[in-house]
Chains A and B, each alone.
Chain A
Amino acid sequence: MSHISPVLWQFLVKWLTNFALFPPEASKIAPQMDALYFFMVLVSLVGLTIVVLLIVGFSILYSKKRHPEAVQIEGSTLLEATWTIIPLGLFLIMFVWGALLYFRIYTPPANAMNIYVVGKQWMWKAEHPGGQHEIDSLHVPTGQPVQLTLISQDVFHSFSIPAFRVKREAIPGRYSSVWFEATTPGTYHLFCTQYCGTNHSQMIGEVVVMTPDDFRKWLQGSTSGHSLAQDGERLFASLSCNACHNPRPDARGPNLVGVYGSRLTLSTGQTVTVDDAYLRQAILNPSQNITQGYAPIMPTYQGQISEEGVFALVEYLKNLQSDYRIQQTLNTTVLPANSEGNAAGQAPAAQKAGGQGEVQQ
Chain B
Amino acid sequence: MSDSTATANGVETEVHHEHPSYQRHHFETVAQQFDATNFAMWLFLLTEIMFFGGLFTAYLILRNWYYPAFVEGSHQLSIFWGTANTTVLIISSFTMAMSVWNAQMRRKGGLLLCLVLTFILGLVFLGIKGIEWHEKWVKYHVPGLHYSDQSFRNPASDPEVYAEYHDKSLAPDMASKVEQYFFLYFAMTGMHALHMVIGIAILGFMIVRAKTGAYTSGHYTFVENFGLYWHFVDIIWIFLFPLLYLISRHQ
Contacts and interface: CB of A to CB of B under 8 A. Distances in A.
B171 to A, nearest CB: 4
A344 B171 contact: no
A300 B173 CA distance: 6
A354 B169 contact: yes
A67 B180 CA distance: 70
Contacts of A297: 171
Nearest to B251: A360
B66 A350 contact: no
B211 interface: no
Interface string B83-127: 000000000000000000000000000000000000000000000
A287 B174 contact: yes
A288 B67 CA distance: 9
Given A287-B68, A288-B66, A360-B251, A346 B168 contact: no
Contact of B172 (A288, A300, A356, A360): A300
A351 B172 CA distance: 11
Among B65, B67, B156, B169: residue with most chain A CB under 10 A? B169
Contacts of A347: 153-154, 169
B171 A346 contact: yes
Nearest to B155: A350
Contacts of B156: 349-350
B26 to A, nearest CB: 34
Contacts of B65: 288
B250 interface: yes
Interface string A280-312: 000011111000000011111010000000000
A353 interface: yes
B171 A299 contact: yes
B67 A346 contact: no
Nearest to B153: A346
Interface residues of B, number: 16
A296 B171 contact: yes
Given A287-B174, A361-B250, A361-B251, A350 B67 contact: no
A354 B168 contact: yes
Nearest to A296: B171
A225 to B, nearest CB: 34
Interface residues of A, number: 24
Interface in A323-358: 342, 344-347, 349-351, 353-354, 356
Interface string B219-251: 000000000000000000000000000000011
Contacts of A302: 173
A299 B172 contact: yes
B64 to A, nearest CB: 11
Nearest to B167: A353
Given A356-B168, A361-B67, A361-B250, A350 B153 contact: yes
Nearest to A352: B169
B142 interface: no
B180 to A, nearest CB: 13
Interface in B111-167: 153-154, 156
Contacts of A349: 156
A286 B172 CA distance: 10
Contacts of B170: 287, 296
Contacts of A296: 170-171, 174
A344 B170 CA distance: 13
B172 A353 contact: no
Contacts of A346: 153-154, 169, 171-172
Nearest to A285: B173
B173 A286 contact: yes
A284 B65 CA distance: 15
Interface in B164-190: 168-174
A154 B22 CA distance: 59
Nearest to B71: A361
B169 A298 contact: no
A288 B169 contact: no
Nearest to A347: B154
A163 to B, nearest CB: 37
A287 B173 contact: yes
Contact of B154 (A284, A286, A350): A350
Contacts of A356: 168
A345 B168 contact: no
Contact of A353 (B168, B171, B174): B168
Contacts of A287: 68, 170-171, 173-174
Given A350-B153, A350-B154, A361-B251, A286 B171 contact: yes
15 contacts: A285-B173, A286-B173, A287-B68, A287-B174, A288-B66, A296-B171, A302-B173, A342-B172, A344-B153, A344-B172, A345-B172, A347-B169, A350-B154, A350-B169, A361-B250
Given A288-B65, A353-B169, 7 more contacts: A287-B170, A288-B174, A296-B174, A349-B156, A350-B154, A351-B169, A361-B251
The 3 closest A-B pairs by CB, nearest first: A300-B173, A287-B171, A350-B169
Interface of B: 65-68, 153-154, 156, 168-174, 250-251
Interface of A: 284-288, 296-300, 302, 342, 344-347, 349-351, 353-354, 356, 360-361
